[in-house]
Amino acid sequence: EDLPQSHDNNNEDGNIIGKPKKQFKIIMISTTKQTTEDLPQSHNDYNNEDGEDETIFKSNWDESVDKFDELALKEEVLRGVYGYGFDKPSPIQQKGILPILQGRDTIAQAQSGTGKTGAFAIATLQLVDTELDQTQALVIVHTRELAFQVCKVIQSLGEW
């Protein structure tokens, strides 16, 4: 299924040329490891040359939640979400939280300020077992400033 395009044209090399058509772009891709038994017979071409199963990329473009309540979040996480000021999920949160909660490796791309940090922070807080005294999540970002911002969001969401 085609994902929304955010630019006018691509040149022959696939490089984007022209001005953006839309101001907002979301790309969601989740990966999952499946065996051929999980797939219809016609999909056996997902095996590599050695007959081993390969990772299958699936889009969850049609999977979406309209309310945080639909995610079956722990009560303290839900309190943190509403306490932080989120009323309803942003588009990236509508599509991004669920595949993370399902244990899928997820790639989410959207403009700055659209709620990406909130999406992975909410999912991460939901998956953390507070009874375990060990590292359960690792967030890697490219600047110290962004690390402080992400830390502040996670702490704010988790203080409830």
Task: Show me where the domains of the chain are located.
Answer: 25-34+60-158
pLDDT at 9: 40
Burial class (CB in 10 A: 0-12, 13-18, 19+), 118: buried
Walk along the chain (160 residues) and give the pLDDT tens digit of each residue. 344 444 344 445 444 444 433 334 444 444 455 444 544 444 444 445 665 656 666 777 678 899 999 999 999 999 999 999 999 999 999 999 999 998 888 888 899 999 999 999 999 999 999 999 999 999 999 999 999 999 999 999 998 7
What is the C-alpha to C-alpha distance for residues 100 and 71, in angstroms, rounded to an integer? 11
- Give the C-alpha distances (Å, rounded to integers) separating 102 from 32, 36, 132, 150: 10, 20, 20, 22
What pTM did the predictor assign?
0.66
pLDDT at 27: 47
Distance of CA 84 to the CA centre of its chain: 20
What is the C-alpha to C-alpha distance for residues 77 and 50, in angstroms, rounded to an integer? 44
- Report the CATH number of the 25-34+60-158 domain: 3.40.50.300
Adjacency order of strands within the sheet including 27-33: 55-58, 27-33, 105-109
Q: 42 in helix, strand or coil?
A: helix
- Whether the Cβ atoms of residue 62 and residue 152 lie closer than 8 Å to each other: no
Residue closest to 120 by CA, chosen among 160, 131, 128, 58 = 128
